Amino acid sequence: MKKINIISSTLFFFLFIYLQKCNSHNIKRDEDEPTRFVIVAYDEDKGIRRRYRVTFNYSTYLFNENKRLSNIIDVQNALICNEDDIDNNEEEIKTLLLWHPGNSFSENIYFLNAFPIWYNEHKKKNEIFCLKTESVGWEKNAMELICDDKNSTIPCPDLISLGTTQLPHRFNRGETLNLNNYFTKYFKKTGISIEGLINKYSYFDYRIGNNWLALPIVADIRPLRFNKTTFDYCIKKGYDIHYPPPYSNYWGSNYQKTVLKIYLFL
């Protein structure tokens, strides 16, 4: 059933992409792999459709025009195709629909940059696709009814990128897959443990009932606030605590690298 598969499809799509990127120094590039793609920024309600011709860089695994794309502010959705496919009829080419919880065009860029590698792998099998990404917001991404064979008006995305707080909603409605077997197969094939590649907090974010349900695609670090009055009180009481940088030199002038090392360790 399609609605069961769409959650995991995006996870392995991007697991493949980022493993390819991490191992890119070992990959011999096929000179026939295309570099030219077309991105259409669109908003159906506003009647806006603008085309951007972009070049994929196989050294950085990013589009050279990323900065320009990140400055698009008046639309939220994107369509990407290889340059040779963009003007084909819908009957000639399949377009996959991906939902994500963003609310701006720039949040499509993660997925747009991943598309060329995925496109190349499927082209080798004579399977040609375009990819449509929609910024649907948090609530719709987590809660919207999807894929009802008896009701064609209900949307049916092929892929969904879920945040950690959205995953339980889809899990409780039976719309997720147990990925344990995939993890085992990957380990047997490569000798690499997927569990060993991700940080320890993922055991709480992506495991329910000893079942792996997802993999992290993007991780962010939120700003940290602290109560200066509490620090002052504890210091006066003789506790050996110090303000976090940049309010204290306790960690030294190179504290940014120290913070990064601590984050990677965790």
Q: How many percent of the chain have pLDDT more than 70?
A: 78
Confidence of residue 248 (pLDDT cuts 50, 70, 90): confident
Residue 236 sits in which domain range? 228-265
Tell whether the model's pLDDT for residue 78 goes beyond 50. yes
Domain final residue, candidates 149, 172, 195 = 172
CA-closest candidate to residue 217, choices 167, 163, 136, 137: 163
Q: What is the mean pLDDT of residues 123-128?
A: 86
CA-closest candidate to residue 39, choices 95, 86, 4: 86
If you average pLDDT over every residue of the chain, what do you get? Answer: 79
* Tens-place pLDDT, residues 200-217: 767 778 888 888 888 776
Do 8 and 78 fall within a single domain?
yes
- The two structure tokens encoding residue 152: 């064609």
The pLDDT score that the predictor gives to residue 55 is 94
Confidence of residue 10 (pLDDT cuts 50, 70, 90): very low
Do 236 and 144 fall within a single domain?
no
In a domain, 110, yes or no: yes
Q: What is the mean pLDDT of residues 9-14?
A: 43
The pLDDT score that the predictor gives to residue 4 is 38
In a domain, 216, yes or no: no
Do 126 and 235 fall within a single domain?
no
Question: CA 175, CA 206: separation in Å to the nearest integer?
Answer: 14
Do 167 and 235 fall within a single domain?
no
In a domain, 185, yes or no: no
The pLDDT score that the predictor gives to residue 29 is 57
Q: Which helix (H) or strand (E) holds 38?
A: strand 36-43
In a domain, 179, yes or no: no
Tell whether the model's pLDDT for residue 20 goes beyond 70. no
Confidence of residue 257 (pLDDT cuts 50, 70, 90): low
* Tens-place pLDDT, residues 213-235: 887 766 655 556 778 888 898 88
For the chain, what is the largest distance between any 2 Cα atoms, rounded to a whole number of angstroms? 74
Tell whether the model's pLDDT for residue 5 goes beyond 50. no
What is the tally of structural domains in the chain? 2
Question: CA 37, CA 143: separation in Å to the nearest integer?
Answer: 33
Tell whether the model's pLDDT for residue 262 goes beyond 80. no
Confidence of residue 53 (pLDDT cuts 50, 70, 90): very high
Tell whether the model's pLDDT for residue 9 goes beyond 60. no
**Lowest mean pLDDT, pick from 44-48, 93-97, 113-117, 211-215:** 44-48
Do 155 and 242 fall within a single domain?
no
| Amino acid found at 204 | F
CA distance to 144, 161, 166, 176, per residue, from 173 (Å): 11, 16, 12, 8
Neighbouring C-beta atoms of residue 151, cutoff 10 Å: 9
Do 164 and 236 fall within a single domain?
no
| Predicted TM-score of the model (pTM) | 0.68
The pLDDT score that the predictor gives to residue 42 is 87
In a domain, 220, yes or no: no
The pLDDT score that the predictor gives to residue 57 is 92
Q: Which residues pair with 99 in a beta bridge?
A: 134, 160
